[in-house]
């Protein structure tokens, strides 16, 4: 274990937790936090303190930290008022607590007095050797420990994305996407005022963390640009790091003497810094999440050559346009692949890339063509469109008054089985070839229970809500792969 891993262990893998300032009022932070910790089955022992004692959610509340057993608790989740917290830290440290997540407000965000209180809190934790996260943060999640010490945000499924954010609301947004897509999270921290532990500190931990495959961060201000660059570069040299940036566009630059100066908007310099560091910059919350989810679930492409499989023309055309606008390449269909598909289909298929089956597919066509595509040496990645459309029809049949008669039960079952099979085939061939195979359909959001997208989730992959979003995610993977490859050559 590195020093960093040891330092963060009491936050992410605590043996016991105490909620300081637990409340019996279900509208209060101190109640909700305790509720969420208990509700999601945290495996360690949970303690709570409350000035008046009593029983909260079945936990006997202690009236002071002094009543805690020695060495039973690693993490204190702080919901008490700012004025009480320095004393609380000392009492906790005396009981062997090694990390504090401070949700309390009234610190640097609240004027001069708050800034002084924050300095005192930081100094106290430094003196005690206590890891301090927050203050004014929304919470911490660690799925391997079944730990949901947070409010508002849902508890995500376990997975390989680790989140660090200066804004608690984005932690919530990312975890909402995790729940909706099934692409899970390892750790998540809302750093609040980041008085001691900062977003880069967390990212460095994630780079070491065996539970984490990709880091996903939101940053607003960057105090020391150079230091930030060096640190995120070191993280990205080990694992993909997706950065959602806020407040990097300050509008136009002030009048500059040079063209270069006039062109040097904050956003352009920030973007260039990200690219140089190997960081994946994203402009929207869904772009950021989907990039991270793709890093977590797809192999990196070894080149730019993309082939598209579609069951209908229009989808393929729009996808081809999206690829043309990207740094990816819509590869010319190799002759031998064309011949191999010719052997399986009547001549009305497109005979080009996108491979448009034009409704000519029979029972085994889609898995077979996916296999031919992914295994071809001149193809680096596959985008598959049209999953779930037959199950969409099946749904109408299943929910209509003619079901299950007239043979509807059999055809419905067939379509649903087929779509699940196609989703499975896309994941299997990707795993077998080590190439990304991305499945896109709006049914991912329009009808998540459609057997196509549902099976994509079952395979642990993301079902992209549109081909454009699949292409955008794939382009992020390609840029990262190229960044790594170019630097391995140097």
Partner 1 sequence: MTHTLSEAESKRVLAAHGVPVPDERLVADPGAATVAAGAIGYPVVVKLCGAGLAHKTERALVRLALGDAAAVRAAATELLAAARPADGPVELLVAPMVHGNRELIAGLHVDEQFGPCVMVGIGGVLAEAVGDVAFRLVPLTAADAADMLDDLHTQAILGPFRGEPPVDREAVSAVLLGLSQLAESDPHVVSVDVNPLIVVAGRPVAVDALVEVE
Binding site for partner 1 (CB under 8 A): 222, 225-226, 229, 256-264, 266, 268-273, 275-276, 327, 482-483, 486-487, 489-490
Closer of 257 and 343 to partner 1 (Cβ) = 257
Q: Would you say 75 and 17 are in contact if contact means Cβ atoms under 8 Å apart?
A: yes
| Nearest distance in Å: CB 490, partner 1 | 6
CB of 273 to partner 1, least distance (A): 6
C-beta closer to partner 1: residue 262 or 432: 262
Minimum CB distance to partner 1 smaller for 247 or for 359: 247
- 51: which residues sit within 8 A by CB, 6+ positions away? 63
Give whole-number Cα distances, 159 to 38, 149, 404, in Å.
20, 17, 39
Closest distance between partner 1 and the C-beta of residue 224, in Å?
8
- Cβ 225 to partner 1 shortest distance, Å: 4
Between 266 and 447, name the residue whose CB sits nearer to partner 1.
266
Min dist. Cβ of residue 215 to partner 1 (A):
21
Cβ proximity to partner 1: between 3 and 257 the closer is 257
Residues 6 or more apart from 366 whose CB is under 8 A from it? 309, 311, 357, 422, 425
Provide the minimum distance between the beta carbon of 259 and partner 1 in the complex, in angstroms, as a whole number.
Answer: 5
* CA dihedral sign, ordered 41, 42, 43, 45: negative
Residue 206 Cβ vs partner 1, minimum distance, rounded to whole Å = 23
Q: Per-residue DSSP letters for 245-314?
A: E-S---SSPPP-SSHHHHH--HHHHHHHHHHHHT-EEESSHHHHHHHHHHHHHSPPPSSSEEEEEESSHH
- What phi, psi does 268 have (nearest 5°)? -65, -45
Beta-sheet strand order (sheet of 147-150):
147-150, 139-142, 185-190, 158-165, 214-219, 241-245, 280-282
User: Least distance from C-beta 42 to partner 1, angstroms?
Assistant: 40
Query: Hey, CA dihedral for 162, 168, 169, 170, is it positive or negative?
Result: negative
Instruction: Between 385 and 472, name the residue whose CB sits nearer to partner 1.
Output: 472
Q: How far apart (Å, rounded) are the C-alpha atoms in residues 473 and 190? A: 25
Nearest to 218 by CA among 170, 283, 161: 170
SS3 104: coil
Q: Pick the closer one to partner 1 by CB: 162 or 331.
A: 331
C-beta of 269 vs 445, nearer to partner 1: 269
User: At 463, is the secondary structure helix, strand, or coil?
Assistant: strand
């Amino acid at each position: 274990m590195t020093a960093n891993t040891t330092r963060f262990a009491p936050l992410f893998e605590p043996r016991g937790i105490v909620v300081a300032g637990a409340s019996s009022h279900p509208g209060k932070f101190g109640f909700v936090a305790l509720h969420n910790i208990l509700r999601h089955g945290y495996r360690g022992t949970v303690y709570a303190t409350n000035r008046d004692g009593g029983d909260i959610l079945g936990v006997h509340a202690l009236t002071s930290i002094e009543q805690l057993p020695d060495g039973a608790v690693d993490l204190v989740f702080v919901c008490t008022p700012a004025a009480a917290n320095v004393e609380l830290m000392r009492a906790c440290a005396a009981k062997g607590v090694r990390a504090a997540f401070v949700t309390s407000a009234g610190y640097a965000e609240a004027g001069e007095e708050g800034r002084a209180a924050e300095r005192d809190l930081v100094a106290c934790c430094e003196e005690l050797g206590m890891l301090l996260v927050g203050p004014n943060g929304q919470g911490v999640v660690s799925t391997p420990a079944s730990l949901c010490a947070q409010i508002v945000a849902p508890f995500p499924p376990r997975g390989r994305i680790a989140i660090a954010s200066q804004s608690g609301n984005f932690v919530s947004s990312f975890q909402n996407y995790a729940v909706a897509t099934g692409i899970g999270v390892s750790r998540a921290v809302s750093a609040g005022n980041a008085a001691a532990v900062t977003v880069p500190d967390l990212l460095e931990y994630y780079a070491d963390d065996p539970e984490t495959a990709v880091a996903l961060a939101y940053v607003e201000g960057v105090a020391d640009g150079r230091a930030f660059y060096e640190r995120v570069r070191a993280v990205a040299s080990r694992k993909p790091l997706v950065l959602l940036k806020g407040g990097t566009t300050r509008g136009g630059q002030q009048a500059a003497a040079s063209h270069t100066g006039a062109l040097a908007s904050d956003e352009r310099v920030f973007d260039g810094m990200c690219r140089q560091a190997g960081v994946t910059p994203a402009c929207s919350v869904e772009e950021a999440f989907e990039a991270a989810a793709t890093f977590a679930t797809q192999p990196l492409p070894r080149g730019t050559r993309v082939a598209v499989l579609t069951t209908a023309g229009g989808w393929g055309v729009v996808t081809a346009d999206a690829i043309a606008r990207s740094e990816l390449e819509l590869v010319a269909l190799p002759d031998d692949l064309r011949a191999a598909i010719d052997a399986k289909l009547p001549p009305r298929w497109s005979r080009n890339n996108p491979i448009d089956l034009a409704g000519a597919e029979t029972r085994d066509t889609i898995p077979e063509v996916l296999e031919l595509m992914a295994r071809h040496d001149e193809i680096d990645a596959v985008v598959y469109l049209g999953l779930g459309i037959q199950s969409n029809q099946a749904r109408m049949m299943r929910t209509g008054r003619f079901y299950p008669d007239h043979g509807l039960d059999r055809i419905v079952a067939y379509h649903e089985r087929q779509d699940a099979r196609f989703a499975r085939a896309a994941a299997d061939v990707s795993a077998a070839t080590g190439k990304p195979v991305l499945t896109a359909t709006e049914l991912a959001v329009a009808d998540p229970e459609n057997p196509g997208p549902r099976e994509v989730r079952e395979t642990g992959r993301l079902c992209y809500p549109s081909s454009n979003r699949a292409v955008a995610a794939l382009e992020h993977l390609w840029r990262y792969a190229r960044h790594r490859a170019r630097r391995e050559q140097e």
